[in-house]
Amino acid sequence: MGGDLVGVLCDYFRAPDRSTALAFVDDLFTAAEAHPDAEAVDLKGIDPVVILGKLVTLLSGRPYEEMMVSGDIPVDHIPGPELLTPEDGDVFLVELDVSVRDTLAGATEATLDDVAFVWANIEEFIGWRDTWNEADELRPVIDALVGIARRARAADQMLYCLICP
């Protein structure tokens, strides 16, 4: 899930439980619109392991300068998502760990401003320069993730990612 992301579609959503999330697999956006406790955002190739993991790591409080100078933004301390669908299916549905939801939801505006520049310059975005070039272009993506995480936490829901390879 962390390789070539140009062709991978990742839709993030919140849902009250796993059974509801699994019911959304066939037609996520129609189902989310029809369900009062759900919401979905389309984030192209922002995979839930590497790219989202690096954002969560940046928001977790390690000194940004240290990570920027070293060029190392580790994701190994972020709990990986739990696969909820068969591995041989056409799509994958994963449930994000509650710590990922809460880290996103707890981010302050000042932290988000600091993180946007560093995250925009991670290695995984290098090939995407025709899509997202600058921190201000990625900030709406960060805001969408933080917003959905805040609403999920407030409603005691989990975050999910539907991955279409």
For the chain, give every domain's residue range: 13-164
pLDDT of residue 33: 67
pLDDT of residue 9: 87
pLDDT of residue 43: 85
Using a cut of 0.95, tell me whether the model's pTM lies above it. no
pLDDT of residue 93: 93
Can you spell out the DSSP letters for 24-64?
Answer: TSSSHHHHHHH-TT-EEEE-TT--TTTHHHHHHHHHTT--H
pLDDT of residue 66: 65
Q: Using 50 as the pLDDT threshold, list the residues of the chain that sit under it.
A: 1-5, 132
